[in-house]
Structure 1
Amino acid sequence: MKILPGMAAVLAALVLIAAPAAAQDRATGLKLDSDKPIQIESNKLEVREAENVAIFTGNVAVQQDKTVLKAGRMRVYYKKDGGSATTGSADIDRLEVDGTVYVRSETQEVTADKGVYDMGREMLVLSGDKVVLTEGANVIVGCKLTVNTRSGLAQLEPCSSTGGRVKMLLTPGESRAGRGN
């Protein structure tokens, strides 16, 4: 099973909210459609201009086309002197999500306890007691998934609770069937 950079897509897609020009460059590598709208819902939004952060809390749901992110909380940190979050001109530094993180793309799902997307390094890290990536009947389990969204290189680290091993279940033919090939 190939780990798609698209699993990071929703996190990276949030760039479109505050930095459209930068987002178009990143979106191309992540196969996002910058023309598609992004919908964000949460129970509360707090913008702390002095701290350069916007905080979405309570049943956070982000959707762009067929990619969905759900979490308990999402913090969007933007660069100092990089614009304003309230006007949509902020230059995003990093995104953090926590509280049962769930990401679904067209063919894959991943769950974790927390996640961080570093815009400058183009690195996504999902971690927790258990990180589970599924594509159809194929399943990979570990505790820390690191994806370089620029190169597509992914690494899954094991959990100490599983004896220090990553677990993988592959069902022959399932990956192709899941992608419609």
Structure 2
Amino acid sequence: MDRKQPIEITAQQLEVLQLQRQSVFTGDVVAQQGDMTLYADKLIIYLQENQDEVDRLEAMGAVRFVQLGRVATAEKAIFYQKDEVLVLTGNAVVIEGKNKISGDEMTLFMKEDRILIKGSEKTRVKAVVVPEEKKEKP
């Protein structure tokens, strides 16, 4: 993902709160930046203080994040723009190919291509890893 690329957002409604440095998008929100697309019912963009750069994005309701063949879903997501870290909470699931990982909270470190999954007292971490089929040489 290239943070220098523009973020394009579509929604049914936008409310700009200039004093709080927030933009609140609601209704069928789609946010796209480079190869990353985020879908949600509501999205709040927080700008950095004294700057016009994005600090973080908070998505709520039917959150779905798609990037390079990886799909992540959750009830809520916070994306920290500078660090390229995505935190998913509430029935978090990541699917990549035939592999599936689920837990109560997931943190995706995109620069490192690393995922940290946490369970809770009620929900354990679950992973389904499907081995790749080896193609026979002719």
Q: TM-score higher than 0.5 here?
A: yes
Q: Percent identity?
A: 31
User: Structure 1 residue 137: deviation in Å?
Assistant: 2.1
Unaligned stretches of 5+ residues in structure 2 = none
Give the aligned partner of residue 67 of structure 2.
Answer: 105
Give the aligned partner of residue 93 of structure 1.
Answer: 55
Instruction: Name which of 155, 166, 170 aligns with 2:116.
Output: 155
The RMSD of aligned alpha carbons is 2.3
Unaligned stretches of 5+ residues in structure 1 = 1-8, 14-22, 25-33, 83-89, 177-181
Give the aligned partner of residue 31 of structure 1.
Answer: none
Could you give the per-residue CA deviations for residues 23-48 of structure 1, whole angstroms, max 9, x where no partner exists?
A: 33xxxxxxxxx3xx653210101111
User: Structure 1 residue 64: deviation in Å?
Assistant: 4.5
Whole-angstrom CA distance in 2 between matches of 1:73 and 1:135: 25
Instruction: Name which of 119, 124, 131 aligns with 2:92.
Output: 131
Whole-angstrom CA distance in 2 between matches of 1:137 and 1:50: 45
> How many residues of Structure 1 are paired with residues of Structure 2 in the alignment?
134
User: Structure 1 residue 101: deviation in Å?
Assistant: 0.4
- The alignment partner of 1:51 has SS state of coil
Could you give the per-residue CA deviations for residues 85-113 of structure 1, whole angstroms, max 9, x where no partner exists?
A: xxxxx122211111110012231211101
Give the aligned partner of residue 168 of structure 1.
Answer: 127
Whole-angstrom CA distance in 1 between matches of 2:116 and 2:60: 20
- The alignment partner of 2:131 has SS state of coil
Give, as a single letter, the amino acid of the residue that structure 1 aligns with 2:55.
D
CA pair 104-123 structure 1, distance change in 2 beyond 3 A: closer
- Give the alignment's TM-score, normalised by structure 2: 0.82
- Structure showing greater relative contact order (alpha-carbon pairs closer than 8 Å, 6 or more residues apart): 1
CA pair 146-48 structure 1, distance change in 2 beyond 3 A: same
Higher strand fraction: Structure 1 or Structure 2?
Answer: 2
2:19 aligned with 1:50, yes or no?
A: yes
